[in-house]
Amino acid sequence: MRVSFLAFDGMGTRSMCTLVEADDARIIIDPGAALGPWRYGLKPHPIELEKLREHKRAIEHEASEADLIIITHYHYDHFPRPGEDIRWLRGKRILLKDPEHMINFSQKIRSRIFLERLRKLDVRVEVADSRELRIGECRIRFSNPVEHGDDPRLGYVLEVLI
């Protein structure tokens, strides 16, 4: 198995987008990237803006070959925000955090907007919470929703084991 970081906090953008290449499956986890706008009263630097564009291109490129897209929760550094082109998700199988249960208000609204956008594409959307599935010999397990850090107001996320 090979694990590659496509966009990560230490790489110049807020993200945890990960590509997992197993013998029988190519999986992208959390295909989003963002910047922390107005940190310390400052706008993002041009280098940060270029890194964001670079990371989004990498995510879209790798997603074109992915068998499965996973979205663990609905923070904009983990999935495409409104207004972003999502045609690169066309034809994909997407497993995502349940948009109705164990979810805070802001993520519920974000998930509804995202799902409405996905309905316009030819995608296969499935709720992932507490599931286990196989792609060939590759086994993928999802946790029950867990708190996103110490503050329950941040919502809930899924943990993924591949």
| SS3 assignment for the chain | CEEEEEEEHHHCCECEEEEEECCCCEEEECCCCECCCCECCECCCHHHHHHHHHHHHHHHHHHCCCCEEEECCCCCCCCCCCCCCCHHHCCCEEEECCCCCCCCHHHHHHHHHHHHHHHCCCCEEEECCCCEEEECCEEEEECCCEECCCCHHHCEECCEEC
What predicted TM-score, i.e. pTM, was given to this entire model? Answer: 0.95
Burial class (CB in 10 A: 0-12, 13-18, 19+), 49: middle
Cα 48 to Cα 15, 25, 57, 140, 149, distances in angstroms: 13, 32, 14, 33, 26
pLDDT in tens, the chain (162 residues): 999 999 998 999 999 999 999 999 999 999 999 998 777 888 888 999 999 999 999 999 999 999 999 999 999 999 999 999 999 999 999 999 999 999 999 999 999 999 999 999 999 999 999 999 999 999 999 999 999 988 878 899 999 999
pLDDT computed for residue 152 by the predictor: 76
- The angle at the Cα of 81, spanning 162 to 113, to the nearest 5 degrees, equals 95
